[in-house]
Amino acid sequence: MKKRILIIYSGGTIGMEPSPNGFIPKPGLLEELMKQYPVFSNRIMPEYEILEMDPLLDSSNMAPADWLSLAHLLQKQYERFDGFVILHGTDTMAYSASALSFLLEGLRKPVILTGSQIPMIEPRNDAMENVVGALLFAANFDIPEVCIHFDNILIRGNRSVKIDCDGFRAFESPNLPPLGEGGIHMRIKDHLIHRPFGEDTGLRIPKQLNSNVTVIWLFPGISAQIIRNALLPPLEGAVIQAFGTGNGPTTNKEFLAALSEATAKGIILIDCTQCHKGTVEFGDYETGSGMAKAGLVNGYDMTPEAALTKLCYLLGKNLPKEEIKKRLQNNLRGELSC
């Protein structure tokens, strides 16, 4: 029996066409193009249906409400299909993939995001290869997680970052090797796949996400006033992109006071690193211990995209603050190594 895959087109370059103001998504174009290419009806391909989001979005226009809409759409169709391919703009694909990994509680089927740097309508493009690979990974492998397939690598969604806005290798997973690769053969590394524990109790989507969050990128000389301004109500949580192994300027007592005042008020601050690779180690330096004493929680090797969306997800559950802090530091969907 052929596997059945649902393709959800949310927007992005892959189905765009030129306009006087630059590329914009065109409803119906992607489906029309896919019908013209024999590869999509080849005998090795799974059966598929295409569902288009309305409106189609450049992913720079996406927000947490759109992550929830995608999750609900997927939930509605969950029983009818063996796997899902989400065609999405590359700009914020790492955020959507991270958010979906948390939102799709109890997921047991592959959900693979892809897109392209050049639209499918162009004669020279990376769209075909990306979609064909995503469909084949979704149909032929047991991958019960949210992934990104791009330029022949399959990476965990909540480990991904966009690293290039020109080359075809647009995404990387700096702290985890690819889960799969496409060469002459398509292979996955089974031991790296994150599998849910316990019985299959179906797919659940939480009611809401809380987007009263921000990201603060530290730089040498950042003032306490900038921190205080950034942490004003209605803010409830922030990812602090700190130096090296999670360090901050601890000789600046006002800076530390600004962080401590916020955590004492119940604002949740996660310490992540500005480095692309590696992890937060609070104990390595006095400048790291100072951040821990100010009440920051350890973000380990989470990407900023994973840390931010995890914060939106956990704050949305209205859990006690201590429980949110605990879960932030726990590995929920393979997003951190600790």
C-beta of residue 89 within 8 angstroms of C-beta of residue 12: yes
Per-residue mark of binding to ligand ASP, 180-219 (x: CB under 6 A): ----------------------------------------
Pick the closer one to ligand ASP by CB: 67 or 81.
67
Pick the closer one to ligand ASP by CB: 9 or 300.
9
How big is the CA angle at 11 (ends 60 and 125), to the nearest 5 degrees? 100
Q: Tell me the DSSP string of 85-128.
A: EEE--STTHHHHHHHHHHHSBT--S-EEEE--SS-TTSSS-SHH
- Using CB atoms, what's the residue nearest to ligand ASP? 89
Q: For this structure, is 92 an active site residue?
A: no
Applying the rule CB under 6 A, the residues between 6 and 65 that interact with ligand ASP are 11-13, 58-60
Marked catalytic residue, from 13, 92, 114, 273: 13
Alpha carbon distance 156, 178 (integer Å):
7
Applying the rule CB under 6 A, the residues between 82 and 111 that interact with ligand ASP are 89-91
Pick the closer one to ligand ASP by CB: 94 or 179.
94
C-beta of residue 103 within 8 angstroms of C-beta of residue 313: yes
* Residue 114 contacts ligand ASP per CB under 6 A: no
Q: Which two tokens stand for residue 56?
A: 């189609």
Pick the closer one to ligand ASP by CB: 66 or 236.
66
Alpha carbon distance 212, 315 (integer Å):
9
Q: How many residues bind ligand ASP (CB under 6 A)?
A: 11
Choose among 50, 59, 53, 116: nearest CA to 84: 50
* Bridge partners for 155 per DSSP: 148
Pick the closer one to ligand ASP by CB: 89 or 246.
89
* Bridge partners for 156 per DSSP: 147
Q: Which two tokens stand for residue 180?
A: 């799969």
Other CB atoms within a 10 A radius of the CB of residue 236 amount to 20
Q: Which amino acid, one-letter code, is at 299?
A: G
Applying the rule CB under 6 A, the residues between 222 and 281 that interact with ligand ASP are none
Residues assigned a catalytic role: 13
Site residues (CB under 6 A) for ligand ASP?
A: 11-13, 58-60, 89-91, 115, 117
